[in-house]
Amino acid sequence: MRFHFKTSYDTDIDLFPDWGKRGLYLALLALAAGLPFLINDFYLGEATNVLIWAVAGLGLMLLTGQTGQVSLGHSAFMALGCYTCVLLMEAGAPFVVAFVLAGLITGVVGAAIAVPALRLHGVYLAIATLALAILADDLIVLLAPWTGGVNGKYAPAVTILGLQFNRWSNPAAWYWLALVVVVLVTWAYRNILRTPLGRSFAAVRDSEISAQAMGVDVARTKTMAFGLSCAITGLGGALMGLFSEVFNNETFGFLISIQLVMMIVVGGLGFIHGAFLGAIVISFLPQLLSIVTDTLGRGVAIPGLESAVFGGLLILFILFEPMGLYGRWLKIRVWLELFPFARKDMFRRQKSYLKTERLR
C-alpha cells in the first residue's frame, strides 16, 4: 500500500499527490491527444461527443457533487449557452470571444436565478429547477425570431486563427478543440476545489449548520456554486450545439437534464473522474442498444427502449452502487492493496440520506 505523508499545507492542496500520479495523468493526456491517429472517424466523433458531455457533466457535478444542491434544470443553461454563443457569432464575434462570453453570461444568469431558487431545499429545489427546464423549452419557441423556434438554427462555422473546424471534413480538429476545452475546464474545476470557496462548497454539502458555525456565508456559497456550475454547463451546451450543427428546442429538452443527472450518479457523484466515466456511458450506451436491437430484432425499433434502459440503470446504481463506477473502482483498488487482509465488512453501506439534511 502507498502512503502519502503531507508535511506542509502546499502538499495538502497539491494537484497531484506524487510524481507517479502526475506521470499517469500526463500519459493519459498524451494518449488522448494521439487518439485521432489510432481510431477511425466514426469513433473519433463518438470520442468528441464524450468530451462534450464531460464538460456539461462537470458543471452539474460542481453543484450537486461538491455542494449538495440538486438540479433537474441544467438543460436550460445548456440551451442558453448554445444560443448565446451562436447569436454572438452571427453578430460578428470571433468564436473564442463568443464562446467565453456565452459561458460568462450563462453563469451570471444562473447566479441571478439562484438567489430566489436556493431558498428552497431538497426535493423542492429539484422541482423548481425542473420547472425551469420545462419553461426554457417554451421560451425557445416563443423567441423564434432569435432562436428559430421549432425550425431550429444552423450553427455558423467555427474558425480559429484561419483554421475552420468541421466535424465531417476535419473531425480531428473538432476533437482537439473539445479536448482543449475539457482540459481547461477540468484544471479550473480542480483549482476551484483547492480554494477557500471550494472548501466552503464541501462544508455546505456536509452540513449547512456546521458551515454557518464556521463562518461560511451559505447563501453566497450556494449562489457562487450555481453560477459557476451554469457557466461550465453553458460551455458544454455551446459545444454540443456547434458540434451537431443544427439544433432546436428539442435538442435541449428535459431528457438532457435527466441524462446529466444519470451521468454523474453512474460515473460517481462528487468525483471529477465520475463525470468522464458517466459521459462514456451516456455516449456509447445508445450505440450499444442500437447494435443489440439490430442483431436481435432485425432492425425493428423498440419505442422507449433507450429511456427505459437509462432509467433502469440509474435505479440499479442508486440501490446497489451509490458511489458509481469510480466508487466501485476505489473499492477494488483498496481491496487489491490490502489483499489478503481485506474484509467484506470494510465496504458495508451506511445509512443513506441527504447530507444537507443532517442538521438544519
CA–CA distance, 79 with 98 (Å, rounded to integer)? 15
pLDDT over 50 at 357, yes or no: no
Q: What is the average pLDDT across 301-309?
A: 74
pTM over 0.85: yes
pLDDT tier, 200 (very low <50, low <70, confident <90, very high otherwise): very high
Query: In the numeric block, which cell numbers belong to residue 53?
Result: 458531455
Q: For the chain, give every domain's residue range.
A: 36-355
Amino acid residing at 304: G
74-112 pLDDT tens trace: 999 999 999 999 999 999 899 999 999 999 999 999 999
153, 160 in Cβ contact below 8 A? no
| pLDDT at residue 251, rounded to an integer | 86
Domain 36-355 fold is ABC transporter involved in vitamin B12 uptake, BtuC (1.10.3470)
In DSSP notation, 60-129 reads HIIIIIHH----S-HHHHHHHHHHHHHHHHHTT--HHHHHHHHHHHHHHHHHHHHHHHTTS-HHHHHHHH
CA distances from 15 to 10, 62, 187, 244 (A): 10, 17, 9, 34
Least confident residue range of 14-23, 42-51, 176-185: 14-23
Considering only residues 310 and 177, tell me which one the structure prediction assigns the higher pLDDT. 177
| pLDDT at residue 359, rounded to an integer | 46
Mean pLDDT of the chain: 84
218-262 pLDDT tens trace: 889 999 999 999 999 999 999 999 998 888 888 888 888 888 988
pLDDT tier, 5 (very low <50, low <70, confident <90, very high otherwise): low
CA–CA distance, 164 with 89 (Å, rounded to integer)? 14
